[in-house]
Amino acid sequence: MTAYIPYVGFMLTQYPGLKIGLIGFPYVPAYVKQKEAYSGAFPGIARDEYSGDLGSGYFLEFFGEYKARVSWGELGIFGAWTSLQTAGKVDARFFQVGFVAPDQDFELRFNRNHYTFGVSFSAGF
């Protein structure tokens, strides 16, 4: 799948060490193309091909970070939540040796949610 993710957003920085932000976009243009070959239910090799434009969906990301000064440097925590969804009609073609199935269309949805959490530290010398 190839997706192009435009985004707009904002970030708020509060002294001494708080940062939070939100970015996203209500439209995610994407294209999917897949070819798969396997040994089918009948003797011989079968092949599937899927392709299509996924023209609806969204991208959204929320992130935050907090850093505090300690005697030896800085210590912090951070986290992010990312959500990507896109959907559209996909053309499917199925081939079997000696047999070609009629083309079929179906709705394909791609959903991805990703969470990131961690700690950071820095030491000054």
pLDDT tens-digit map of 82-109: 999 988 888 988 877 777 777 888 888 8
The predicted structure's pLDDT at residue 103: 80
Q: Write down the pLDDT at residue 111.
A: 92
Residue 76 corresponds to which tokens in the numbers above? 């912090």
Distance CA(27)–CA(29), nearest Å, equals 6
Neighbours of 25 (CB within 10 A): 14
Contact 67, 74 (CB under 8 A): yes
What's the one-letter identity of residue 44? G
Give the pLDDT confidence score for residue 40 in this predicted structure: 57
Calculate what percentage of the chain has a pLDDT beyond 90.
Answer: 41
